[in-house]
Chains A and B, each alone.
Chain A
Amino acid sequence: DVKVTQSSRYLVKRTGEKVFLECVQDMDHENMFWYRQDPGLGLRLIYFSYDVKMKEKGDIPEGYSVSREKKERFSLILESASTNQTSMYLCASSFGGYPGELFFGEGSRLTVL
């Protein structure tokens, strides 16, 4: 089975802290994505990557950065966490050429105090 693993299910951080969210997939997928999910707003795309060392801004990249040094790993970085970044973060991956068949991790629920 395809597996997308997110490093932490629950995190609590303080305002101003640097936060790393890690995502690893084991299916050799080219594409990887970071979404955040908020009530009433649905899933919003933060960043995505089509290949190693490549990254593209999604719809809400402000306050975030990403890193993809290896094909299987895609990291989301909050340089200085703020309370409005409290959310559920979902990582997903897919084969190139199959944009909609995403495989999701279980999510990381981040609370920023």
Chain B
Amino acid sequence: SQELEQSPQSLIVQEGKNLTINCTSSKTLYGLYWYKQKYGEGLIFLMMLQKGGEEKSHEKITAKLDEKKQQSSLHITASQPSHAGIYLCGADMTVIDFGNEKLTFGTGTRLTIIP
């Protein structure tokens, strides 16, 4: 089973609408990272969350990490065609120590924006 569960797996949203993507773990997350991938291309880093209750925004995208540091949400306000793609959460699942710098990724959420 996946250590990081993302929901929904796919999402079709009308342009201008708001949407939320979730990323959940049964373990404490020591760092949570959101990435976006355009179809058939590499991933682009969006945001990093490390503290329980932390919230960050960039343009119309807001990401939050819950107090228990086991769930994160990505919220897009007034969606645009440029938001279309695959959104992946990645997490550091272990206590950070030197030489253990690797991420576990969720399976991704495919977002389609329809005019």
Contact = CB atoms under 8 A, between A and B. Distances in A.
Contacts of B40: 88, 107, 109
A43 interface: yes
Interface of A: 4, 31, 33, 35, 40-45, 48, 50, 56, 58, 88, 90, 92, 94, 96-107, 109
A42 B32 CA distance: 16
Interface string B74-108: 00000000000000101110001001111111111
B39 to A, nearest CB: 11
Contacts of B33: 100-102
Contacts of B102: 33, 45, 48, 58, 99
Interface stretch (B13-21, B41-49, B54-62, B65-73): B41-49
Contacts of A42: 2, 4, 88, 105-108
Please list the 10 inter-chain residue pairs (A to B) with the smallest Cβ-Cβ separation, ordered nearest first. Answer: A104-B42, A99-B101, A100-B33, A42-B107, A43-B105, A104-B43, A106-B42, A42-B105, A100-B31, A106-B41
